[in-house]
Amino acid sequence: MKAVIPAAGMGTRFLPMTKNSPKEMLPIIDKPAIQYVVEEAARSGIEDMVIVTGRGKEIIENHFDIAYELEHVLGSRNDREKLAEIRHIAEIADIFYVRQKIPLGLGHAIYMARKHVGDEPFAVLLGDDIIVSEEPCVKQLMRVHQRYGASVIAVQEVAREDVSKYGIVAFEEVDDHLFRIKDVVEKPDADEAPSRLAVMGRYIFSPEIFDCIARTKPGKNNEIQLADALNLLLEKEEVYGYAFTGTRYDLGDKFDWLRINIEMALQRDEFREKMRELLKKLQQ
Ligand code: G1P
């Protein structure tokens, strides 16, 4: 299965940092956000990925390329550990790039990858959503896809005050963690939301979604919304929602970025004690 990773958004919620650098390159301690996303796809068994970029996002391509000069310097210092770490980044997967030339929305960004994907089911991982879990989130969705042969989207319950930040689904419960999707509403007001079950940035789509996107008219914010295309897909095929296991961080959000850095530091041996001490001290 191939993966499409939309990374063309402008990151307006993270200004001024994102004025001239992509939000997907924000560091989580020492690794850019998009590397976690690419690694999640790779850990799910995906070897062929398309990153949908846009103007000003060239450093994403450079990050996944071989850095010849850097490797030369590390090699001459005999720093094998760093050399292996740097080389690994260029070998995670075969990554292809396509540009979304005009920012016309998430649906439109995914459509840019249609020729590379072809007529097969494919995964979508949003480049600014990080999901930390033992079994990669996409792998969890793949299991559902294999069982039902249908499109699957990752969902998670959110607080009432947060529903206006997400695509929210109307559903029928099928099994533990599993829902049949009936409708998707993009970023509704809390009073109009069909539920509190929100679409998170991971999907497995049947290739039919491309035709649906092509038929989707500009919707909210005058963009080609993936949620609207999903509703067209629902007229033809079943779509499932899977409440995955894992913690999800929205890297477009400043507080989530602070939170993931602290939580990740607490998981790393080199920082755990120091971070605990700092947090204790700050509480006093
Ligand atoms: C996008 C989708 C939305 C989804 C969200 C998850 O919105 O349009 O349906 O719930 O990702 O992160 P964005 O956050 O790009 O505005």
- 46-89 pLDDT, tens per residue? 999 999 999 999 999 999 999 999 999 999 999 999 999 999 99
Per-residue pLDDT, 220: 87
275 shares a domain with 201: no
The verdict on 243 and 284 lying in the same domain is no
Q: How many domains does the chain contain in total?
A: 2
Same domain, 259 and 181: no
Verify that 144 and 258 share a domain, yes or no: no
What atom in ligand 1 is closest to the CA of residue 186?
9
pTM metric for this prediction: 0.95
Q: Could you write out the DSSP letters of every residue in the chain?
A: -EEEEE-----GGGTTGGGSS-GGG-EETTEEHHHHHHHHHHHTT--EEEEEE-TT-HHHHHHTS--HHHHHHHHHTT-HHHHHHHHHHHTS-EEEEEE-SS---HHHHHHTTHHHH-SS-EEEE-TTEEEE-SS-HHHHHHHHHHHH-SEEEEEEE--GGGGGGSEEEEEEEEETTEEEEEEEEES--GGG-S-SEEEEEEEEE-THHHHHHHTPPP-GGGS--HHHHHHHHHTTS-EEEEE-SSEEEETTSHHHHHHHHHHHHHHSHHHHHHHHHHHHHHH-
Which pLDDT belongs to residue 10? 87
State yes or no: pLDDT of 128 exceeds 90.
no
Same domain flag for 265 and 188: no
Residue 14 Cβ < 6 Å to ligand 1: no
Co-location of 14 and 59 in the same domain: yes
Give the Å distance between the CA of 119 and the centre of ligand 1. 25
166 lines ligand 1 (CB under 6 A): yes
Do 57 and 79 share a domain, yes or no? Answer: yes
- The pLDDT, as a whole number, for residue 137 is 98
Domain shared by 146 and 258, yes or no = no
Q: Domain check: are 213 and 200 in the same one?
A: yes
For residues 214 and 283, membership in a common domain is answered with no
Print the domain residue range for 278: 254-284
- Tens-place pLDDT, residues 244-272: 999 999 888 899 999 999 999 999 999 99
95 and 172 housed in the same domain: yes
Q: What is the per-residue pLDDT across 215-239, written as a single tens digit (0 to 9) for each?
A: 999 998 899 999 999 999 999 999 9
Q: Do residues 102 and 130 share a domain?
A: yes
